[in-house]
Amino acid sequence: MTSKSMLLSISLAVAAALASGAVSARTEIQNKGSDTLVNVAQSWAEQYGKINPEVAVAVSGGGSGTGIAALINGTVDIANASRKMKDKEIKEAEAKGHHPVENVVGYDALAIFVNKSFPLNSISIPELAKIYGRDGGATKWSDLGITIPGCKDEIVVVSRQNNSGTYAYFQEAVLGEKGKFRQGTLDMHGSKDVADLVEKTPCAIGYSGLAYATEHLKTLCISPEKGKACVKPTEDTAFDGTYPIARPLMMYTDGKPKADVKKYMDWIMSDVGQCILAKEGYAPVRKISCK
Amino acid sequence: MANSTTAPGAATAAAFDRRDFDWYVDKAVQAIVFVCGISAIIFVLGIFVFVTKEGLGFIVNHMNFHEFFLTPYWSPSDADDPEYGILALMAGTASVTGLAMLVAIPFSLGAAIYIAEFASGKTRETLKVLVELLAAIPSVVWGFIGLVIMNPLIIKWFDVPVGLCVLNAGIILGLMAAPIMTSIAEDALKAVPDRYREAAEAMGATRWQVTYKVVLPAAKNGLLGGVLLGVGRGFGETMAVLMATGHAVNIPNSIFDSVRALTATIAAELGETVVGGEHYQALFTIGILLFLVTFVVNLSADLIVRGIRKG
């Protein structure tokens, strides 16, 4: 053996050892989906990586629909979703031999934002449907008997891009199963953009996760019917279901979670995991005290 | 030479045979340049095949021509009842491009006439450099100007609730299209032979009469070509219109309405669709449409410009 080929075989052996070592030492969990959950999912992945360096959780966003599609195709271990899987999607998954299991990991109150100059503190679900629904009937604030200082009456309707889970949830919860959004909504590409636009525009109304509320915005109290008592969006009212447009945040796994995925899901549901979720502005699944 | 002992005829042939290093370099460079030359064709064909392949599934299986072109409802992510109507998106693109041309044509024609016919020496050179500099501003920067500067100005001046609208995007797009239109219009004016001007001046025409009555009619094909290229630019522009239009699916009633462009829809939604899904394919179908329209516009512009060069 020449010295050159010996060197080569040694380096090959070292590389092989390194590679096999890396494979056995690190397992990877693929986690994809909802943009509402993506910040929380990233915090979870980072914190979990500190406790269990042998497990790497790869998190990416892309929207609830993207995560669910990836689960159907079998390319992720966990799909994040801010809406429930549709029957059609579950059937597609079953057809491909995957059995999605729903795990509720937290709750989010869908907050309705208006500009600081908005005169009222509450709005009802039917009024929201009039504003957002196709042919809903309200295109001017005066249609609802509201006058906003600094606004000439036209309602500036702020919405989200159509593959957002928040958009899909709002459509179902406010406009109903068959409801459609009206034409001419300003479709923002993120919850932050909704908050920014509403903050600057007196005529505007928008919706986003409660985590995006700021003191520069008015967050409305929501009543299920006109004239009924309204409920403020808080972590508590989202948790106990009294807030009318609160939604569960889900992580779908393929079958009951097993091995590393199960450990990860258990840790997410533990007090530590739930406190991370609460810190990001969402409601945990049970009463816990976080410091 | 190695074969100096052979017959004189062969020696002459060998003397003319220049297959030395330079000869090979020459051949190699020719081959490389040839590949580069036809690469544009390969790329255009490749892109067209790719876009068509991705979008064809939608056209064949899901597309309802009436719904696609004649309804304004675009809600492709609705799982039970997706709607794929691009009428409002086409209206958005058309209104923004139309307004942009209204802004850009007077500006660019005026600039081209001044640069080609009236300015001279240093002024002309400086102006030409500045126009080219204007063309080099990235479109996202233009979009930023629309979002941050134009938006509050439009709200203040016209007393409208939101300044992200046809007017905003039209002005931005007009300013973006103006430099390329200026350059082409100036070329067209330059292509008019000087003897036309001399003849007109000899007849006692003033500078403006020469321009208006002689040079402009002679250059009209080139000017039209420049305008068409500007239309193509406006039609295909994405980032600036995404930021300045307000991104609302809407058939505009006035220039203060928010709209959404075809290009912006692809940019905003493609990244979050399921690859190969119906929505994904529908976006590629819009891509095919954009490709065909810009192709036809650019081709006709090119043919018109060539027409005057020959004639």
Residue B71 belongs to some domain of the structure: no
Q: Inter-chain contact A66–B247, Cβ cutoff 8 Å? A: no
Residue B223 belongs to some domain of the structure: yes
Q: Which of residues 69-108 of B touch A (CB under 8 A)?
A: 72-81, 83, 88
> What is the distance in angstroms between the Cα of A201 and the nearest Cα belonging to chain B?
7
* CB B262 within 8 Å of CB B234: no
Cα torsion through B67, B72, B77, B82, rounded to 10: -30
Domain architecture of chain A: domains with CATH: 3-107+248-279 (3.40.190.10), 108-246 (3.40.190.10)
What Å distances lie between residue A247 and A41, A114, B120, B198, CA to CA?
17, 21, 69, 79
Would you write out chain B's pLDDT as a tens digit for each of its 311 residues?
445 455 556 667 666 777 788 889 999 999 999 999 999 999 989 999 999 999 998 898 888 888 899 999 998 877 677 889 999 999 999 999 999 999 999 999 999 999 998 988 899 999 999 998 988 999 999 999 998 899 989 988 998 888 889 999 999 999 999 999 999 999 999 989 999 999 999 999 999 999 999 999 999 888 998 899 899 888 888 889 988 998 899 899 999 999 999 999 998 888 667 677 788 899 999 999 999 998 999 888 888 877 655 54
Residue B175 belongs to domain with CATH number: 1.10.3720.10
Ramachandran area for residue B42 (φ above 0: left; ψ -120 to 50: alpha; else beta): alpha
Is B164's Cβ below 8 Å from some Cβ in A?
yes
> What is the distance in angstroms between the Cα of A10 and the nearest Cα belonging to chain B?
42
Measured CB to CB, residues of chain A less than 8 Å from chain B are: 62-63, 65-66, 69, 86, 88-89, 134, 151-152, 154, 156, 161-163, 167-168, 171, 177-178, 180-181, 183-189, 197, 201-204
How far is Cα B161 from Cα A159, in angstroms, rounded to an integer? 16
Residue B204 belongs to some domain of the structure: yes
Residue A182's nearest CA partner among A153, A205, A159, A212 is: A159
3-state SS assignment for residue B3 = coil
The domain total for chain B is 1
Structure-token pair, residue B222 = 């080139």
> What is the distance in angstroms between the Cα of B157 and the nearest Cα belonging to chain A?
14
Residue B75 belongs to some domain of the structure: no
Residue B217 belongs to some domain of the structure: yes
Parent domain of B232 = 87-273+301-310
Which residue reads 């600081």 in tokens? Answer: A116
* CB A36 within 8 Å of CB A83: no
Residue B243 belongs to some domain of the structure: yes
Residue B26 belongs to some domain of the structure: no
- DSSP lists the bridge partners of residue A81 as A250
Residue B74 belongs to some domain of the structure: no
Q: Inter-chain contact B279–A189, Cβ cutoff 8 Å? A: no
Structure-token pair, residue A162 = 């159509």
Q: Inter-chain contact A151–B273, Cβ cutoff 8 Å? A: no
Half-sphere exposure of A211 (CA within 13 A, CB side): 21
Q: Inter-chain contact A186–B80, Cβ cutoff 8 Å? A: no
